[in-house]
Structure 1
C-alpha cells in the first residue's frame, strides 16, 4: 500500500510546490504566485491581441488619446508606475471595463456613454488599474491552480478510503472539493473587486479627484440594473437575477456602502479636489457612436442591417435580435427557439459542397438548391456523429452572400416539439435573409451622442425627437437622472441622434 501511494503523495507535493514567493506591491506582503511580473506582461501582451480582434477599437484618435492620457496620469501615481501601461477604448456597446495582467486596461464606448464626468471615468479606470497593481490576474491563476490541487487531493483521499472498503468515497470527496474550490475562487474574486474599488478611490484622491466619484459610478451601475428590471417587467418578463454572495462581483448595494466609507477617509493633498471635468468629458463624447456600430451590424426595430457585409434580416414579430462577435441570433419571445446566422470561414471552402464536407462533416444527408431573395442557397438535411459517436441531426442552409461570403443559417430549439411549433416563424426569419438594399443602407446609420441645452419641456421634450426606444427613460439614464431629479434649464445634456 505504501508503495502504491508514494507516487501520488509525491505528485501532490510537487504540484503544491509550484510557484515562487512574490512581493505584492499594494499590500507589501509576500505571496506565493505562479506568475512572475515578466509572465504577467507576456500573458497580457498575448491576450491583448485577442481582445482587439474580438472587440475592435474606436477609430477616433481624439477619444483614444483622451482616455490614454487620463489612464497614464492615474497609473503614474499607482503602486506599479514602472509598468508600460496601455489604455484602449473598445468598439462595443457593452457597459463594461476590464484589465489584463501586465498593464492592459480597457473601457468600452458603451460604459463611457453612461458616465457624466472625467472624474467618474477616472474612477472606472482606477478600479481596473487596481486589479493590475494588486496582481489580481496572477492571484486568480494561483488560486485556480490551488483549487485544482484541492480536487486532486480529495480524489486521492477518496482512492485511499475506497481501498479500505468505503465504496463511493472517491466520488463524494471529489464532489465536496469541487464545490469548495468553486466557492473559494468566487469568494476570492469578490474580495478582489472590493480591493479594486478601494484602490480606485485611492488613485482618484492621489490625482486630486474626489473619491466619492466611485460612489457615482456604482450608482450608475445600480440605475442600469433598475432600467433592465423595469424594461423586463414592461415586456412581461422576469427581472434579471441580482448578484449573490458567490458571484465574482459583489452586489452594487454592498459596493456602494463600502466605497462610501472608504471615500470619507481620503482628503485631497491640495486641500481641494480638482474640477470633475464634466465639460471636457462631454466634448470627448460628442460624435461617439451609441449602441450598435455599422462595423458590427445595427438593429433597428425588427430589422438587422450589416452595411459592412451588405446583408439584412428581419425577426418575426415578438422575436428579439441578439448580435455578438461569433453569430447573430433571432430568438423567440420565450427564448426557446432561434435562427442562428454564422459566417463560414474562408478556409472551409469556396462552394456549398466544400463547406458541407469540411465544416459540417455529415455522415449522411441530402441537399436541396434554393434561392433566397436572389441569392444562391443550399439546404442540407442529414446527420453527423457527435464526439460520443452518437448520431446528431443537421438542418443547415448555406447562402452565397455579397463579397463571396458563404453564410450558414441554422434553426435550433429547446426540443423537437418546440422546433416544430416554431417552424413557421423560423422559416419566415430564414426567408428574410437578403442583400442590403439602397434604402436599407441609408437607414443603417449608427446613432451618435450629441449635447444640447436642457429644454423647459424636460426629457419628455427631448424624447420626442430621439430615435431611442423608451427614449425618455434612456435619456434620463445616460444623463444620470434615472432615479429622479432634473438638470437645470439650459444645462448641457447628452442626447442621441
Structure 2
C-alpha cells in the first residue's frame, strides 16, 4: 500500500530571493531559488526518500542494463559532468520521473510496456532533458513565488493514484490529501514538456539511437490510455482519468507533430544491430515481475490479497482498487467516494475504544460493535476533534485482523450527498474483509514476464496459457488495436511465478 511523499524545500531555499544561474541548455541567465549546489543537495535528499518509499527493484542485471543505457545518454547531454544515477523502481505504475541533480527513475511497470531498448532510451532521454534544462529548479522557483514550499513535483504522477478528488476526514489521513494537492500543483508546463521531448530526441541521436523512437514512446502510452477506456466501456463505466506517465506528459496531436519535426531534424541511426536493441531489451526483461508485488498486496480483478498480512477484501462491481504502500483505496465508479483501509499503529492502544480516542478524539456519535467474518469490529459514526480544535464528521470501522493487527476502514467522500449515495458500496467492501482462505492464497501468486515465440494462433492462443487476457498481451507487446505480428516472432507473455 503506497505512502504519499511530500518533499519540502529547505528553509534556506524558502528564504532565498533567488540567484542568477546560466541555463546549460538555453545559455540564458535565469533567477532561481535553487542553484546547482542546492539542486544537488535537494536531489540527494529526495533520492533517499524515493528509495525508502518505492524501493529499487531487486534485479541487479536489469539495474545494470538500465544504468548503462542511461549513462550513455547522459554523457551526451548538456550536463555530462553531473554524477547521474539511474534506478528501476519496484512499482507496477507506468511512470518515470527525475529529481534535480541527476537522479532518474523508471518503473518496472513502464518497462513491461516498452518494446525495445530505443524506446526505453527515449523515456530516459526525456527525463534527462528535464534535469539538463533545470525544469525542477524552475518549478521550485515558480512555487516559491506562488507561496508554496513544496517539491512534491519530483514524484510527478506517483501521488495522483491516491483517489484524487476524495477528501480526508481527520488528521489520520490528512497527509494523503496534501500529497494529492501538491501533485496537481507540481506539473510541468507544456513548454517544458516539449523542451524535454526535443532534448530526448537530441540525446537519442547523439547516442546513435533513432530519434523517432520518442514518437513511439508516446504512442505506447496512448495505447495504454485507450486500453483502459475500452475496459471501462465494456464494464459500463466511465473512462478512468489517466494515472500514468502520459497523464503528466500530455500527448495530443500537436505534441506528436512537434516531436516528429524535431526527430526528423536529426540523422536516423540504429545502434541496436538492426532491431533497435529489441533482443537485448527482451533478454533483460526476462523474469520481470508484472503487476503488483506480494509485499504490498495483489489486485486481481475486484479482489485484493495481502499474503504477508494474511487478509483479503473484495470491491463491489464497478468500484476500483487503488493499492499503495500504506493504504488501500476502494474508489467508487464516479470517483466521489472511497473506502480507505489503513493499518492502525501498534502504539495506538490495545482496545478499539482506546484506538478511537487516540486516533480520532471522537466528541459525539454512535458506536456499534460486532463482527466481520468472525473478526471483532467496531464502527463509529459522529464527529471528531482535529488537532487544530475544529470538529469534523468521521465514519470509521476498526477491525481486528489476522496476526494481531488492527485496521481502520475510513468512509471518505467529496460531499455529504456522495457519502450517502455511495455508503452501500463502501459497506459491501467492508463486509468482505476476511482472513485469507486457501482459495485466496491460490489466487494471490505474483506474475512475471516471459519471452516466447508467438504461436500460429496469435495472442488468442497464447492467452490460453497466460495469466492475463489476449488484449493485455497485445498491450504489453505494442499491438493493441492492431493485427497480430507473424507467428514465430518473439513476444512477451505473462505467467504465474
Q: Render the CA deviation track for 1:267-299: whole Å, top value 9, x for unaligned.
A: 26xx76443211111111111111121112112
Alignment match, 1:56:
55
Alignment match, 1:462:
462
CA shift, 1:423, in A, is 4.7
Bigger mean CA deviation after superposition, 296-305 or 347-356:
347-356
Consecutive unaligned residues of structure 2, counting only runs of 5 or more, are: 1-13, 149-184
Alignment match, 1:431:
431
- Alignment map for 1:79-90 (pairs within 5 Å): 79-90=78-89
Moved over 6 A (4+): 185-188
Alpha-carbon separation, structure 2, partners of 1:272 and 1:315:
47
With over 3 angstroms needed to count, the CA separation of the structure-2 counterparts of 1:197 and 1:231, relative to structure 1, is same
Q: Render the CA deviation track for 1:88-120: whole Å, top value 9, x for unaligned.
A: 111221111000101111111111011000111
Bigger mean CA deviation after superposition, 203-212 or 49-58:
49-58
Alignment match, 1:129:
128
Alpha-carbon separation, structure 2, partners of 1:16 and 1:366:
48
CA shift, 1:439, in A, is 3.2
CA shift, 1:456, in A, is 1.4
Alignment match, 2:32:
33
Contact 1:451–1:493, Cα closer than 8 Å, also in 2: yes
Query: Would you say 1:308 and 2:286 are equivalent positions?
Result: no
With over 3 angstroms needed to count, the CA separation of the structure-2 counterparts of 1:295 and 1:30, relative to structure 1, is same
Alpha-carbon separation, structure 1, partners of 2:283 and 2:355:
48
Alignment match, 1:218:
218
With over 3 angstroms needed to count, the CA separation of the structure-2 counterparts of 1:282 and 1:242, relative to structure 1, is closer
CA shift, 1:374, in A, is 3.4
Q: Render the CA deviation track for 1:307-365: whole Å, top value 9, x for unaligned.
A: 12211112234433222334212234444443221112334334323321221111234
Contact 1:77–1:207, Cα closer than 8 Å, also in 2: yes
Aligned positions, number: 442
Q: Render the CA deviation track for 1:365-401: whole Å, top value 9, x for unaligned.
A: 4544433333333233332235786643333221222
Alignment match, 1:487:
485
Alignment match, 2:143:
144
Consecutive unaligned residues of structure 1, counting only runs of 5 or more, are: 1-14, 150-184
Bigger mean CA deviation after superposition, 407-416 or 259-268:
407-416
With over 3 angstroms needed to count, the CA separation of the structure-2 counterparts of 1:136 and 1:96, relative to structure 1, is same
Say what the alpha-carbon RMSD is for the aligned residues.
Answer: 2.8
Alignment match, 1:472:
470
TM-score (structure 2 length as normaliser):
0.81
Contact 1:189–1:249, Cα closer than 8 Å, also in 2: no
With over 3 angstroms needed to count, the CA separation of the structure-2 counterparts of 1:290 and 1:367, relative to structure 1, is same
Contact 1:401–1:407, Cα closer than 8 Å, also in 2: yes
With over 3 angstroms needed to count, the CA separation of the structure-2 counterparts of 1:372 and 1:85, relative to structure 1, is same
Q: Render the CA deviation track for 1:237-279: whole Å, top value 9, x for unaligned.
A: 3345689xxx9634342222111111111126xx764432111
CA shift, 1:432, in A, is 1.8
Task: Tell me the SS of whatever aligns to 2:114.
Answer: coil
Contact 2:16–2:33, Cα closer than 8 Å, also in 1: no
Contact 2:319–2:330, Cα closer than 8 Å, also in 1: yes
- Alignment map for 1:236-315 (pairs within 5 Å): 236-240=236-240, 249-267=249-267, 273-275=271-273, 276-315=276-315
Alpha-carbon separation, structure 1, partners of 2:91 and 2:186:
26
With over 3 angstroms needed to count, the CA separation of the structure-2 counterparts of 1:36 and 1:350, relative to structure 1, is farther
- Alignment map for 1:133-172 (pairs within 5 Å): 133-148=132-147
Alpha-carbon separation, structure 2, partners of 1:87 and 1:215:
22
CA shift, 1:28, in A, is 1.8
Alpha-carbon separation, structure 2, partners of 1:418 and 1:137:
37
Contact 1:99–1:105, Cα closer than 8 Å, also in 2: yes
With over 3 angstroms needed to count, the CA separation of the structure-2 counterparts of 1:351 and 1:417, relative to structure 1, is same
With over 3 angstroms needed to count, the CA separation of the structure-2 counterparts of 1:272 and 1:457, relative to structure 1, is closer
Contact 1:115–1:121, Cα closer than 8 Å, also in 2: yes
Alignment match, 2:379:
379
Contact 2:295–2:308, Cα closer than 8 Å, also in 1: yes
CA shift, 1:142, in A, is 1.7
With over 3 angstroms needed to count, the CA separation of the structure-2 counterparts of 1:379 and 1:35, relative to structure 1, is same
Bigger mean CA deviation after superposition, 77-86 or 233-242:
233-242
Alignment match, 1:76:
75
Task: Tell me the SS of whatever aligns to 2:455.
Answer: coil
Q: Considering Cα pairs closer than 8 Å and 6+ residues apart, tell me whether 1 or 2 has the greater RCO.
A: 2
Task: Tell me the SS of whatever aligns to 1:25.
Answer: coil
CA shift, 1:192, in A, is 0.8
With over 3 angstroms needed to count, the CA separation of the structure-2 counterparts of 1:68 and 1:188, relative to structure 1, is closer
CA shift, 1:420, in A, is 4.9
Contact 1:189–1:248, Cα closer than 8 Å, also in 2: no
Contact 1:16–1:146, Cα closer than 8 Å, also in 2: no
